[in-house]
């Protein structure tokens, strides 16, 4: 495990997944992996409840991890992999709120789609236990977001922390990993519009 993402969802994590896979030549774990591996849902739900998790087994074959649910457990995961770098991805708080409100929170407001009850329950529990006590409004969500980012910056070892914003592109990642900057544009994917289309929120 080379990179442990501490950045919350809607901070460019899907673009980071693609970029890190390009740089590391190995898969990067992201919430989308949980959709592809329903057997991971009870493992994450155990973590949400404070139970121990075998991170080696969960992340077998992955060289990096970003996005929720892992970002909630960045301390535990980075402790399990002491040679990893901790990647905090952030964006302007107001932009982040507009994005999450139109995507992830809109998904919650519509309820669990057929066949996703276990995933929905795990994710709802994650949010209520580790982010906000109920469906957050703008002020509560931004406060929780900024508190999370501040805690990462305050408590992560400085020599391991990569503080990254989407506009930073390849350079901070390549410097931290000791690899060359690719001669290609940094990925930009999973926009609000793409997310809403993928989850049937466009109408």
Please write the tens of the pLDDT for every residue from 45-82. Answer: 999 999 999 999 999 999 999 999 999 999 999 999 99
Q: Where are the domains of the chain?
A: 3-198
Half-sphere exposure of 105 (CA within 13 A, CB side): 18
Higher-scoring residue by pLDDT: 136, 10: 10
Looking at the predicted structure, is the pLDDT value of residue 199 above 60? no
DSSP conformation class of 21: H
Per-residue confidence (pLDDT) for residue 74, from 0 to 100: 98
- The pLDDT tens digits for 130-158 are 998 766 789 999 999 999 999 999 999 99
The answer regarding whether domain 3-198 maps to CATH 3.40.50.2300 reads no
Count the helices and strands in the chain (H runs, E runs). Answer: 11, 5
- The pLDDT tens digits for 79-100 are 999 999 999 999 999 999 999 9
Per-residue confidence (pLDDT) for residue 196, from 0 to 100: 41
The answer to whether the beta carbons of residues 122 and 48 sit under 8 Å apart is yes
Q: Is the pTM of this model over 0.85?
A: yes
Mean pLDDT of the chain: 91
Looking at the predicted structure, is the pLDDT value of residue 22 above 70? yes
Per-residue confidence (pLDDT) for residue 145, from 0 to 100: 96
Closest CA to 177 of 58, 33, 26: 26
Per-residue confidence (pLDDT) for residue 73, from 0 to 100: 98
């Amino acid at each position: 495990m080379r990179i442990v993402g501490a950045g919350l969802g809607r901070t460019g994590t899907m673009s980071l997944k693609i970029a890190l896979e390009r740089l590391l030549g190995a898969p990067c774990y992201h919430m989308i992996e949980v959709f592809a591996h329903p057997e991971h849902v009870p493992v994450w739900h155990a973590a949400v409840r404070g139970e121990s998790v075998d991170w080696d087994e969960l992340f077998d074959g992955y060289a990096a991890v970003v996005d929720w649910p892992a970002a909630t457990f960045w301390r535990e995961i980075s402790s399990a992999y002491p040679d990893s770098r901790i990647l905090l991805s952030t964006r302007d708080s107001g932009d982040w709120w507009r994005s999450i409100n139109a995507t992830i929170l809109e998904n919650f407001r519509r309820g669990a789609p057929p066949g996703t009850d276990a995933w929905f329950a795990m994710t709802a529990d994650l949010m209520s236990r580790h982010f906000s006590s109920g469906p957050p409004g703008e002020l509560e969500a931004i406060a929780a977001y900024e508190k999370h980012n501040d805690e990462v910056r305050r408590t992560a070892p400085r020599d391991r922390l990569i503080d990254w914003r989407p506009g930073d592109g390849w350079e901070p990642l390549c410097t931290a990993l000791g690899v060359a900057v690719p001669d290609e544009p940094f990925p930009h994917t999973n926009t609000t519009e793409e997310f809403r289309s993928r989850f049937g929120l466009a109408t």
